[in-house]
């Protein structure tokens, strides 16, 4: 039986390509199935509080190239652990019932959730409580289990690589060590790809704890060889051997309260103190998540959205669209929810980085 009324929401952090997915899902179902689409505003918050907008043909036209999401999003809203401030304190409650009631009030046949690992984890909880859901994996971090690629990743890598290219010229001119801290949370995919794309001299990722002396020696060695500058690409989750990740702050009530950040400045200060080489740090931060998606992500996001619409039409709920072995596929959300896909130590790109002389700090 064809799905006639479908809800759509975007959860977690914003990401280039979200609007491309919304457009593909909506236009496919409206054009081919004459379905009605209901967009929930600000992620799961809209589902709990019943805040919506229609996603007709006109609403999703001319949004393919736009960054962000026309629906808005939230990386703190979780129906199962709804956080509210009462008497100056954060208290949590289970408002899954409100989310389900909203779903039923709109007489929906199913819900398409576009989000990362946290959003898929929440989707898994709602599936267990009876909601028919299809997932579309999203994140610049490329860390969703069950897919080898997420849309938004290539756009973030392009921004990071361009920044590293620009740091290269000023590092060379001033004979400095330039440290660029990139996003990625607990996975080093952005750092790995951006470092290789830009020819960074030192690459530090969460999966491989670094040794301080190895990093210092790599910088000194370049000076001895007449190369009077170094480029260091460090993932925000990188940590020294036997040490911990650098936490910028915590957000009480968030599904993932830890906000990483600060390892870049720590790295630059430590290198300068240990080696005497002038060092500077640049934190790329949110610029990696903003702006127009690159062409690859527009095409990829459109493909994922089309596949999600096809799954909805076929009534194949509980599945997440994925990209595996060079083709579109889908996996059970319950099999992949609540996990993080990190860089495996046998990843070929790590071997390639080492082969061209990049130090991994190990």
Active site residues: 141
**In sequence order, what are the residues at sequence separation of 6 or more whose Cβ sits closer than 8 angstroms to the Cβ of residue 327?**
none
> Which of 197, 278, 211 lies closest to 240, judged by CA?
211
Is the alpha carbon torsion for 88, 91, 96, 97 positive or negative? negative
Work out whether strand 202-204 and strand 177-182 pair parallel, antiparallel, or are unpaired.
unpaired
> How many residues does the structure list for the chain?
362
The whole-angstrom separation of Cα 220 and Cα 222 is 5
295, with CB counted inside 10 A (0-12, 13-18, 19+), is exposed
Give yes or no for a contact between 146 and 321, defined as CB atoms under 8 angstroms apart.
no
Find residue 82's DSSP bridge partners.
Answer: 93
DSSP letter for 181, please: E
Q: Are strands 110-115 and 133-137 parallel, antiparallel or unpaired?
A: parallel
Alpha-carbon span 208 to 285, nearest angstrom: 22
Checking phi first, is residue 315 left (phi over 0); if not, alpha (psi -120 to 50) or beta?
A: left
Residue found by looking up tokens 């994140």 in the block: 139
Question: CB–CB of 231/280 below 8 Å?
Answer: no
- Residues 141, 153: contact at Cβ < 8 Å? yes
The CA-based angle 320-297-65, given to 5 degrees, is 115
Q: What is the pairing mode between strands 279-283 and 258-260?
A: unpaired
Q: Percent helix, strand and coil across the chain, each rounded to 5?
A: 40, 20, 40
């Amino acid at each position: 039986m064809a799905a006639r009324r479908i809800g759509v929401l975007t959860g977690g952090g914003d990401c280039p390509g979200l609007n491309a997915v919304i457009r593909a899902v909506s236009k496919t179902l409206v054009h081919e199935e004459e379905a009605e689409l209901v967009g929930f505003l600000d992620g799961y918050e809209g589902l709990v509080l019943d805040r919506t907008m229609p996603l007709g043909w006109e609403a999703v036209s001319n949004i393919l190239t736009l960054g962000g999401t026309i629906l808005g999003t939230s990386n703190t809203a979780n129906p199962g652990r709804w956080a509210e401030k009462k008497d100056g304190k954060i208290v949590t409650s289970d408002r899954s019932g409100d989310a389900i009631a909203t779903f039923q009030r709109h007489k929906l046949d199913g819900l398409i959730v576009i989000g990362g690992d946290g959003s898929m984890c929440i989707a898994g909880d709602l599936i267990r409580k009876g909601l028919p859901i299809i997932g579309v994996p999203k994140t610049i971090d490329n860390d969703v289990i069950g897919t080898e690629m997420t849309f938004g990743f290539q756009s973030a890598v392009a921004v990071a690589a361009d920044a590293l290219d620009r740091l290269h010229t000023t590092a060379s001119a001033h004979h400095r060590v330039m440290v660029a801290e990139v996003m990625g949370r607990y996975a080093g995919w952005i750092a790995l790809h951006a470092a290789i794309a830009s020819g960074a001299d030192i690459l530090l990722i969460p999966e491989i704890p670094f040794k301080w002396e190895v990093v210092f020696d790599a910088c000194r060695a370049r000076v001895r060889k007449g190369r009077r500058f170094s480029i260091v690409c460090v993932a925000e989750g990188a940590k020294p051997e036997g040490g911990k990740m650098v936490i910028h702050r915590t957000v009480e009530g968030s599904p993932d309260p830890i906000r990483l950040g600060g390892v870049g400045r720590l790295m630059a200060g430590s290198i300068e103190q240990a080696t005497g080489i002038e060092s500077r740090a640049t934190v790329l931060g949110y610029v990696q998540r903003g702006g127009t998606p690159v062409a690859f992500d527009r095409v990829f996001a459109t493909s994922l959205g089309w596949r999600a619409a096809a799954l909805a039409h076929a009534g194949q709920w509980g599945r997440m669209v994925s990209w595996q072995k060079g083709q579109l596929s889908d996996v059970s959300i319950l099999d992949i929810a609540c996990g993080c896909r990190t860089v495996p130590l046998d990843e070929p790109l790590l071997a390639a980085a080492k082969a061209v002389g990049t130090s991994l700090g190990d």
